[in-house]
């Protein structure tokens, strides 16, 4: 009999083990205080945590592994980090958002972050996953008056209700190699070089000059995409429609890229961005003159890939004002910590002193118009070591003021990614133009099954 | 004391012990499988964070798949598989017959067996990453060729259809020829040495012996290798996915069926992905049926077939 009991027990243990994953966490006595004890924040790296730690005065300490930050009143911030690559972050976030209504109070998402490429998916008025800031008690017109207005437009839904806020603003510049400028133009002065790249026609003439000396202007055709793609006049998909309208600016990018690539102004061995060849093009052995980057690109991409000393690169004005990237902070519908969420959003995205501190410590170009103007004039505190003491804010600030942000849609990420991929084949002479078009149509319908039609502009 | 217990049956404990497997199989495999088939008849996907469906639409997914480029991707899959399989089976046969040939007296046989199996131990995705880096335009292969002076400008391996497909084939070949070699060696060693001895006594050359003795006798295992390799090939995914960054570049010529499936799953299109899975399931099912027939050969030495033939002759 004893044996029997033991074996039943064992079997039960095995079964229990197999099914353990299915059981939900048992909730410890749910408290009915006004604010929850746990603030859950979904994000994709440490960036936001570092900035909260730096400027939110209530922060007491963060655990060594960086997963829990304790506030002075005992509330814990739980950081739920999933990598952005391959859409992992969005997948995990989407799952959590779908379960938000049923989740226990302390498991609910309180804050989540999104990037410009897909911010529109989460600020959607029907989906209503990001709370309107007004519902939190933040008045965008007064509390966020100093922010750049295009960042406020980006974070708003179709009805103009702002559902997110950002601490950073990502105006892009042209970053160039001083030694190549010296060799080709006889000067490496940012003002003089800026004059040579001030618009597309001038830049094209400059590109021919660089070519004559054996240099490439940019690494790849993908480098210029954001300048065209982030200034389109109409959204990829208009609200409520299922038709993709390819903007004339995108066609311009394709045609210009073809022309530039065939003329040898791009390095044809570099195919697209974020790959080994592209990273190599930022090294000292490369023949590439310039890159188009916002502040984060210089810090996170160019600087780690550069193998020479500081001061080899300098920034100047781009041929066209553009914005690339930016992380938005959203309060999640159903949060049980609205007061803390409001405080955090205000501290990180609306307080001028805090934002200037972020700019100084993390070289972010931050979302405060007056602050950035001060920074542009303050060479002592805001010069960059990597740029050999140049004050990049002087060039960022005017770009930021002139940015006209493209109208967004929830389909931007897929459209941007797939148009570059499918027309990459065309630019490399693998397929003809019409084939590239039809490949884009196939690929985009796979990605977004609800898309019914793709309209191309007249050539 | 009851006298009912005439014999003690332990059989029930057997059932108890296999119960956990069947339970987990039921929960984690059978139900998802049934769901996949069910959803293949539904319109069911995500648009942003809004769920569309599930709405029953009958065979619509199946029809639109047939109208799409599915057949083309099936062709890609087949080509990629053949490029890898032909060298794989030829080299494996050659190596297997050398390795088991007692008269060749190969030194360090065990060492070679381990070495040829090694590529299979690397994860396919890691292997693809390695090749992607090695064969990129600025990668080591191009640098070596350039510094040797064999080429003037770097070769764009992954920019051409031929290059990409060859690389995928090469990787599949490298990963699987060791495995096949070891399987074929087992098959050849299973042949009675008497037959080889007899053939030698009759003055058989080693080439004749290979084609007229070894090959016919390992036919069932060869067929098994072929079919399992086709089924594996149908599911080819990680190597081309990583090598082409999920795009099947250039011009979707290295897009396999499972990569096609995967691109539907990016939008959580369970309906379309489900019906594609059902197509794959049917094809694999047919192939499995052949394997089953072959491995359950009820006429292993051909005697029944010969008898039938004789009878036919006799009747005439």
- Do residue A443 and residue B159 have CB atoms under 8 angstroms apart? no
- Residue A458 CA to residue A399 CA, distance in Å, equals 31
- Residue A94 CA to residue B213 CA, distance in Å, equals 61
Q: Range with the lowest mean pLDDT among A311-320, A348-357, B102-111?
A: B102-111
The answer to whether A149 faces chain B, any CB pair under 8 Å, is: no
Q: Are A146 and A401 in contact (CB under 8 A)?
A: no
At A28, phi and psi to the nearest 5?
-75, 140
Name the strands in the sheet holding A313-316, side by side, starting at the edge strand that comes first in the sequence: A290-294, A172-177, A313-316
The answer to whether A449 faces chain B, any CB pair under 8 Å, is: yes
The answer to whether A11 faces chain B, any CB pair under 8 Å, is: yes
Kindly report, residue by residue over A71-127, the tens digit of the pLDDT: 999 899 999 999 887 778 988 998 899 888 888 888 899 999 999 888 988 998 888
Q: Shortest CB distance from A269 goes to which of B51, B154, B245? A: B154
In the prediction, which pLDDT does A87 show?
76
Q: Which two tokens stand for residue A339?
A: 């007061």
Q: Shortest CB distance from A18 goes to which of B23, B136, B159? A: B23
Mutate to test the interface with B, among A101, A430, A441, A442 (most CBs of B within 10 A): A430
pLDDT band at A8 (very low <50, low <70, confident <90, very high): low
Pairing mode of beta strands A76-81, A109-115: unpaired
Q: Which two tokens stand for residue A458?
A: 């007249």
Mutate to test the interface with B, among A267, A269, A426 (most CBs of B within 10 A): A269
Over residues B139-165, mean pLDDT: 88
Q: What is the mean pLDDT of chain B?
A: 86
Q: What is the mean pLDDT of chain A?
A: 87
Kindly report, residue by residue over B263-306, the tens digit of the pLDDT: 888 878 889 999 999 999 998 888 888 877 776 666 656 666 67
Kindly report, residue by residue over A24-39, the tens digit of the pLDDT: 333 333 333 477 889 9
Q: Measured between beta carbons, which residues in chain B are less than 8 angstroms from residue A287?
A: none
Task: Reply yes or no on whether the pLDDT at A4 is more than 80.
Answer: no
Among A residues 171-190, those touching chain B with beta carbons less than 8 Å apart: none
DSSP helix/strand/coil, B149: coil
Of A97, A90, A112, A107, which is closest to residue A41 (Cα–Cα)? A112
- Do residue B50 and residue A443 have CB atoms under 8 angstroms apart? no
Task: Reply yes or no on whether the pLDDT at A206 is more than 70.
Answer: yes
Q: Shortest CB distance from A276 goes to which of B136, B247, B260? A: B136
Task: Reply yes or no on whether the pLDDT at A21 is more than 50.
Answer: no
Task: Reply yes or no on whether the pLDDT at A14 is more than 60.
Answer: no
B252 dihedral zone (left: phi>0; alpha: psi -120 to 50; beta)? left
Mutate to test the interface with B, among A446, A447, A451 (most CBs of B within 10 A): A446
Q: Measured between beta carbons, which residues in chain A are less than 8 angstroms from residue B251?
A: 425, 430-431, 435, 439
DSSP B23-74: HHHIIIIIHHHHHHHHHTTEEEEEETTEEEEEEE-TTHHHHHHHHTTHHHHH
> What residues pair up with A68 in beta bridges, in sequence order?
A78
The answer to whether A163 faces chain B, any CB pair under 8 Å, is: no
Kindly report, residue by residue over B242-261, the tens digit of the pLDDT: 898 888 878 888 899 999 99
């Amino acid at each position: 009999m004893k044996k029997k009991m033991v074996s039943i027990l064992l079997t039960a243990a095995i079964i229990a083990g197999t099914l353990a994953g299915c059981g939900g966490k048992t909730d410890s006595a749910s408290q009915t205080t006004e604010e929850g004890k746990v603030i859950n924040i979904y994000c994709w790296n440490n960036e936001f945590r570092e900035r909260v730690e730096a400027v939110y005065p209530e922060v007491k300490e963060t655990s060594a592994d960086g997963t829990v930050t304790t506030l002075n009143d005992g509330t814990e911030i739980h950081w739920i980090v999933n990598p952005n690559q391959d859409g992992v972050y969005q997948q995990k976030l989407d799952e959590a958002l779908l379960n938000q209504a049923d989740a226990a109070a302390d498991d609910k998402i309180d804050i989540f972050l999104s990037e410009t490429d897909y911010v529109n998916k989460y600020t959607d008025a029907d989906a209503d996953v990001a709370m309107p800031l007004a519902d939190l008690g933040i008045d965008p017109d007064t509390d966020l008056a100093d922010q750049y207005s295009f960042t406020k437009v980006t974070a708003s839904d179709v009805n103009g209700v702002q559902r997110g806020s950002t601490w950073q603003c990502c105006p892009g510049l042209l970053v160039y190699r001083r030694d190549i400028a010296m060799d080709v133009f006889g000067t490496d002065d940012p003002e003089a070089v800026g004059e040579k790249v001030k618009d597309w026609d001038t830049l094209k003439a400059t590109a021919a000059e660089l070519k004559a000396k054996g240099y490439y202007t940019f690494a790849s055709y993908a480098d210029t995409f954001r300048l065209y793609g982030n200034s389109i006049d109409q959204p990829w998909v208009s609200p409520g429609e299922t038709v993709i309208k390819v903007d004339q600016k995108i066609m311009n990018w394709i045609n210009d890229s073809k022309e530039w690539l065939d003329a040898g102004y791009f390095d044809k061995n570099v195919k697209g961005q974020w790959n080994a060849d592209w990273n190599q093009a930022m090294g000292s052995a490369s023949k590439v003159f310039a890159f188009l980057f916002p502040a984060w690109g210089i810090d996170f991409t160019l600087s780690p890939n550069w193998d020479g000393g500081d001061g080899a690169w300098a920034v100047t004005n781009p041929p066209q004002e553009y914005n690339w990237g930016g992380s938005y902070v959203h309060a999640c519908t159903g949060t049980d910590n609205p007061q803390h969420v409001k405080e955090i959003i205000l501290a990180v995205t609306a307080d001028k002193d805090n934002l200037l501190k972020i700019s100084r410590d993390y070289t972010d170009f931050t979302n405060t118009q007056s602050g950035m103007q001060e920074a542009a004039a303050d060479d002592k505190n805001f010069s960059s070591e990597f740029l050999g003491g140049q004050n990049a804010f002087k060039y960022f600030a005017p770009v930021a003021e002139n940015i006209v942000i493209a109208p967004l849609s929830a389909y931007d990420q897929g459209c941007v990614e797939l148009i570059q991929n499918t027309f990459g084949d065309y630019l490399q002479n693998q397929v003809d133009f019409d084939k590239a078009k039809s490949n884009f149509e196939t690929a985009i319908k796979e990605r977004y099954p609800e898309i019914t039609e793709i309209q191309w502009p007249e050539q | 004391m009851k006298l009912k217990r005439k014999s003690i049956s332990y059989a029930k404990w057997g059932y108890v012990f296999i119960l956990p497997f069947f339970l987990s199989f039921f929960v984690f495999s059978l139900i998802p499988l049934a769901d996949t088939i069910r959803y293949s008849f539904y319109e069911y996907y995500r648009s942003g964070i809004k769920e569309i469906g599930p709405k029953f639409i009958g065979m619509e997914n199946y029809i639109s798949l047939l109208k799409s480029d599915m057949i083309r991707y099936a062709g890609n899959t087949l080509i990629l598989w053949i490029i890898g399989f032909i060298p794989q089976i030829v080299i494996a046969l050659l190596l297997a017959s050398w390795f088991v040939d007692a008269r060749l007296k190969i030194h360090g046989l065990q060492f070679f067996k381990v070495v040829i199996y090694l590529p299979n131990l690397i994860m396919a995705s890691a292997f693809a990453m390695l090749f992607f880096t090695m064969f990129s335009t600025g990668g080591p292969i191009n640098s070596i060729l350039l510094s040797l002076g064999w080429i003037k400008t770097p070769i764009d391996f992954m920019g051409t259809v031929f290059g990409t497909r060859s690389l995928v084939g090469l990787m599949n070949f490298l990963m699987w020829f060791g495995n096949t070699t070891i399987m074929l060696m087992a098959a050849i060693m299973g042949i009675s040495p008497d037959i080889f001895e007899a053939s030698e006594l009759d003055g058989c050359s080693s080439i004749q012996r290979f084609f007229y003795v070894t090959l016919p006798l390992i036919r069932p295992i060869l067929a098994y290798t072929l079919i399992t390799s086709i089924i594996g090939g149908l599911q080819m995914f990680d190597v081309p996915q990583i090598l082409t960054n999920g795009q099947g570049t250039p011009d979707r010529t290295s897009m396999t069926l499972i990569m096609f499936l995967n691109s539907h799953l990016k939008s959580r299109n369970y309906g379309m992905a489900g019906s594609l899975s059902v197509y794959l399931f049917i094809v694999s099912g047919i192939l499995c049926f052949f394997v089953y027939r072959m491995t359950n050969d009820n006429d292993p030495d051909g005697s029944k077939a010969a008898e039938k033939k004789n009878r036919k002759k006799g009747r005439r």
